[in-house]
Structure 1
Amino acid sequence: MAKQLNLFSQPSLNIGKNLKEQLAKSAKESRFSREELLDRMNDLAGRYGVRLMKGNGSSLTMATLEKWLNPEALDYVPGINSLVIFCAATGDLEPMREVLAPLGGMLIDENDVILLSWAKEYQRAKDARSRMRKLEMEL
């Protein structure tokens, strides 16, 4: 279920600058040079049939990647498919967190999924015990 956004305390839905800052940070903290990152992105895009650029360009250029990573170049933001390829190439999901945060969304890892599943089962068991106690009192 989607969380209702509060009109007065809503974070900005204009994520361009924050997203680009996170893209630059993710690229910098990755173990890849810009050239290696570009190659990885183009390889992944080719393997999965994803177009990284609009128009006739068949592959991402270094100039475009640099614009995506420049927080001041707000007119150049990667599309959602390109963002997925970027995250896969860097191995970092933080840019996706920037996309989800203003909507109240969160990304969770495999350990969080297991913990959440455990908590749901625990709550079901707790509710069942409560119902059993009520039924027992009626006996």
Structure 2
Amino acid sequence: MKAQRLSLFGEANPSAMRTGGFIPAIKSAMGQAAKKSAFSREQILDRMNALAVSAGVRMTKGRSKVISLDTLDKWLSSEEREHVPSLLALHIFCLALEDTAPLRAWLAAFGCDVMTAEDRKLRDYGRACIEDKARAKAKRKLEDMILEEWR
């Protein structure tokens, strides 16, 4: 029996996850990523702001190219449902922490996940194995046809 990897948010109620449940999942994943990070919130903020400034982008709708610690705290708080980071802010957050968990939480709403470099190698290996078996099967079929003709 194939082992199944269950998602904390998506499996129990997939309809809710696809509608509104993904926002708390993303915020929770952001909070967990921040907690497990080696960076303090202030350092996370500095890293995010530096990335945004260097890219010349804004993470919020306002005029400022940087965010405040208060804004970051609201994004990381599951209780602050009205304060949701933009897609760009989520991207910058993931880059600043070098952690794709928040992105994975969002993709889970679509039944998707992030593929790592190791995952790609294993996929390519599996594909090569299947192709080898298909070629071996075709080869055996041709051998059988040739042997039938010789009989």
Q: TM-score, normalised by structure 2?
A: 0.82
Q: 2 CA distance for matches of 1:53 and 1:40?
A: 16
Q: 2 CA distance for matches of 1:120 and 1:25?
A: 35
Residue 10 of structure 1: aligned partner? 14
3-state SS, counterpart of residue 109 of structure 2:
helix
Residue 122 of structure 2: aligned partner? 115
Deviation at 1:83, TM superposition (A): 0.6
> Is 1:40–1:89's contact at 8 Å kept on the other side of the alignment?
yes
Q: 1 CA distance for matches of 2:109 and 2:60?
A: 26
The answer on 1:97 being equivalent to 2:107 is: no
3-state SS, counterpart of residue 75 of structure 1:
coil
Q: 2 CA distance for matches of 1:58 and 1:99?
A: 24
Deviation at 1:50, TM superposition (A): 2.5
1:77-88 equivalences under 5 Å are: 77-88=84-95
Deviation at 1:23, TM superposition (A): 0.7
Unaligned regions of 5+ residues in structure 2, if any? 1-12, 147-151
Residue 52 of structure 1: aligned partner? 59
- Aligned-residue CA RMSD (Å): 1.2
> Which region of structure 1 is more displaced relative to structure 2, 72-81 or 42-51?
42-51
Q: How many residue pairs end up in the alignment?
A: 131
Deviation at 1:122, TM superposition (A): 1.1
Q: 2 CA distance for matches of 1:56 and 1:47?
A: 16
Residue 6 of structure 1: aligned partner? none
Ranked by relative contact order (alpha carbons within 8 Å, sequence separation 6 or more), the top structure is: 1
Q: Which runs of 4+ in 1 moved over 2 A?
A: none
Q: TM-score, normalised by structure 1?
A: 0.89
1:70-81 equivalences under 5 Å are: 70-81=77-88
Residue 134 of structure 1: aligned partner? 141
The answer on 1:37 being equivalent to 2:44 is: yes
Q: 2 CA distance for matches of 1:42 and 1:119?
A: 41
Unaligned regions of 5+ residues in structure 1, if any? 1-8
